[in-house]
Structure 1
Amino acid sequence: MTSGLFALDRHGDRDWAPGMLDFAVNVRGAPPGFVRSAIAATLDDLARYPSSELFDAVTAQIAALHGRDPGEVLLLAGASDGFELLGRLGARRAALLQPSFTEPELVLRAAGVPIVQVPLDPTRPLDARAAARIPDDADLVVIGNPTNPTSVLHPRTAIEALCRPGRIVVVDEAFADLTVDEVTGMREPESLAGVRLPGLVVIRSVTKTFGLAGLRAGYLLADPALAARLSAGRRAWPMSTPALAALAACCGPEGESHCDEQARLVAVERDAMLARLADVGWRPVADPRAPYVLFEVANALSVREELRRTGIAVRSCANFVGLTDDHLRLAVRSDDQVTRLVEALRRVPTEVK
């Protein structure tokens, strides 16, 4: 039952199978119509290589979106493409703020970079006391914001305070576009995408919010010198023509409106889901701010298997540093889907619970 659950390269898609109700993968449904149309419009161009003009145009578009220069933007085939580039930096020691997405550890270990794990309290955001545990000689620091899988949103100022001369700070903002300020309703309240600081790298993805996990699209933001280091020797045509068109649509006016709508919907659905799950004794580990929620459940692996037998997939967090095999992550879903989950949980045998 636990075979492979502790492997770093195991992600939520491994917990799901066709036909299952999916609480395991944090993708917000199918691509919206305007993104599908943008992709479809490129199909007659598939016999040609992606044009440099389109690549440059999308780069300039994203730079303008975040108030930056084109030289500060690298287009990516998904956020994992950005993490893979980190091995080029020649870091002497990397500090990974955990628990967090496992891909950075995989690529840095493959590049021979010494790693120190810095476990954070999964119930609370980064503060000065937690940051003080990062070794002074760590010249590369990686943190997720919001963090996957805890759903904690860290203050932007706390992450900025990690920056110092000679250090690169990488922020995984794959889910930042679905975060909102709980008071003002402003989207992306703690994002550093528009912040210019030497050594700061922000990696973003559009695959979750726009249902494009199978296409792979995202981008990286950094100061020009650092962006040049990351792109040196990079392969030609790092993104396909359909992915470039999709990225342009996601980062355009319709895409921004879609993000606004989805961010508001996530907040509503998350509150409703938490209320329903509280009725069966499930309460979040931390105040969730992302489109997923972390729970600690007794006998979680057995509960996961019982849910699988009823056709419901949830994400085991057994392979995250700082968590245990009693942690499960659930994607935020609609009320009708949550109803099915709650009904299934009520049927889980007492000896499993």
Structure 2
Amino acid sequence: MRTDDGHDLRHHGDAEVRGTGADLTDLAVNVRADTPPVWLREHIAGSLGGLAAYPDGRAAREAVARRHGLPVERVLLTAGAAEAFVLLARALKVRHAVVVHPQFTEPEAALRDAGHAVDRVLLREEDGFRLDPAAVPEDADLVVIGNPTNPTSVLHPVALITRLARPGRVLVVDEAFMDAVPGEREALAGRSDVPGLVVLRSLTKTWGLAGLRIGYVLAEPDTVAELERAQPLWPVSTPALAAAEACVSPRALAEAAHAAHRIAADRAHLVAGLAEFAAEGVSVAGPAEGPFVLVRAPGAAALRARLRERGFAVRRGDTFPGLGTDWLRLAVRDRATTGRFLQALDQALTSA
């Protein structure tokens, strides 16, 4: 979906590596490397014996509710967070939808597909892409924001986000990457005191399950019921339900917490390396708090092509409203991969 201002809302990181025939190191997709872990693959495989029966999501739904300390009536399992955006767009009666950009483009695409006009609030680079609650129109009855935000990697304080909540407004907070933040600082999942709050979580990023499609919605029971009525029967497969239950277990939460600290250290290493190219005009939006960083680099489109020639796929930034052609998004990887990438970047910049 290309909007009138030229942004391709349906361009995602997988397009940078799909169908090229090249052997590329993937820095374009924000799924954690070396996932899913062996124990999770084995657990999912163990569910295949039950494929003859229709999926029963009760156990997984209860497990998610326990994980966040919520009643089960506040939980809805979905085929990834992307399905949740479609359900919100189709099921809710919306008069004035506002999406805070730059952010993941599927919420706006889903709203437009459902026939809604969408207003944008564009956060500014000079403000560090930080949220200004006063910029959101008072009459907006649906507001969508990411936290931490893809692609800026900004983690907005809860105190700022909750200032957007008010009676008569649905406040959608996409926390798809929150489990990659140490301690899940600034998370709203589990809160039931914020009016109109809808929190979306994805299990595909941290656990490498993008091909399985599993996520969930946390919201007021009436909102959950309304979204559930818009779902088809048996929307989440038996293997995905098995994954959901496993990924909110104490073992999985401990593993995710450990991974979040490792990602933070690997991100600091990447940012420090990128700082060495400041003289060439390379800068990092920040402070970054997610498993990816947003980078400004002059001539980013040509730079992206030269990086491909050197074996690295990176995400173009100009498809995100609020960003232009000088932006790239890089997934955080281990130090060895980052070292190879920084060498390739040095070569790509000097060969311009």
TM-score tier by shorter-chain length is over 0.9
For 2:206, which of 197, 206, 209 is the aligned residue?
209
Report the AA paired with residue 277 of structure 2: V
Partner of 2:316: 316
Superposed CA deviations along residues 67-104 of structure 1, whole A, max 9, x for unmatched, are 11000000011110111111210100101111010000
Indicate yes or no: 2:257 matched with 1:260.
yes
How far does residue 32 in structure 1 lie from its aligned partner after superposition?
1.1
**Which secondary structure does the structure 2 equivalent of 1:42 belong to?**
helix
Report the AA paired with residue 139 of structure 2: D
TM-score, with length taken from structure 1:
0.92
Partner of 1:8: 9
Q: After TM superposition, which residue ranges in structure 1, 4 or more long, deviate above 2 angstroms?
A: 121-127, 280-283, 349-352
**Which secondary structure does the structure 2 equivalent of 1:132 belong to?**
helix
Partner of 1:174: 176
Indicate yes or no: 2:337 matched with 1:337.
yes
Partner of 2:216: 219
Contact 1:163 1:200 (8 Å CA) reproduced: yes
For 1:23, which of 21, 27, 31 is the aligned residue?
27
Partner of 1:183: none
Partner of 1:297: 297
* Alpha-carbon distance between aligned partners in 2 of 1:163 and 1:317, rounded to the nearest angstrom: 29
CA RMSD of aligned residues (A): 1.4
How far does residue 149 in structure 1 lie from its aligned partner after superposition?
0.1
Partner of 1:104: 107
Contact 1:280 1:342 (8 Å CA) reproduced: no
* Alpha-carbon distance between aligned partners in 1 of 2:305 and 2:251, rounded to the nearest angstrom: 40
* Alpha-carbon distance between aligned partners in 2 of 1:164 and 1:209, rounded to the nearest angstrom: 32
Q: Percent identity between the aligned chains?
A: 45
**Which secondary structure does the structure 2 equivalent of 1:198 belong to?**
coil
* Alpha-carbon distance between aligned partners in 2 of 1:190 and 1:337, rounded to the nearest angstrom: 29
Indicate yes or no: 2:193 matched with 1:192.
no
Superposed CA deviations along residues 260-310 of structure 1, whole A, max 9, x for unmatched, are 111010011011111122223333112100000001100000000001111
* Alpha-carbon distance between aligned partners in 2 of 1:345 and 1:16, rounded to the nearest angstrom: 18
Report the AA paired with residue 67 of structure 2: L
How far does residue 165 in structure 1 lie from its aligned partner after superposition?
0.9
Contact 1:146 1:290 (8 Å CA) reproduced: yes
Superposed CA deviations along residues 47-81 of structure 1, whole A, max 9, x for unmatched, are 22213xxx111111111111110000000111101
How many residues were matched structurally? 337
Partner of 1:184: none
Contact 2:283 2:297 (8 Å CA) reproduced: no
Partner of 1:116: 119
* Alpha-carbon distance between aligned partners in 2 of 1:263 and 1:233, rounded to the nearest angstrom: 34
How far does residue 125 in structure 1 lie from its aligned partner after superposition?
6.0
How far does residue 114 in structure 1 lie from its aligned partner after superposition?
1.6
My pick for the range that moved more, 109-118 or 42-51, is: 42-51
Question: Which structure 2 segments of 5+ residues have no match?
Answer: 1-5
Show the 5 A alignment for 1:225-304.
Answer: 225-281=222-278, 282-304=282-304
How far does residue 203 in structure 1 lie from its aligned partner after superposition?
0.3
How far does residue 142 in structure 1 lie from its aligned partner after superposition?
0.1
For 2:94, which of 67, 91, 99 is the aligned residue?
91
* Alpha-carbon distance between aligned partners in 2 of 1:349 and 1:84, rounded to the nearest angstrom: 40
How far does residue 258 in structure 1 lie from its aligned partner after superposition?
1.3
Partner of 2:157: 155
Contact 1:193 1:202 (8 Å CA) reproduced: yes
Indicate yes or no: 2:83 matched with 1:81.
yes
Partner of 2:41: 36
Question: Which structure 1 segments of 5+ residues have no match?
Answer: 181-186
* Alpha-carbon distance between aligned partners in 2 of 1:126 and 1:269, rounded to the nearest angstrom: 23
**Which secondary structure does the structure 2 equivalent of 1:161 belong to?**
helix
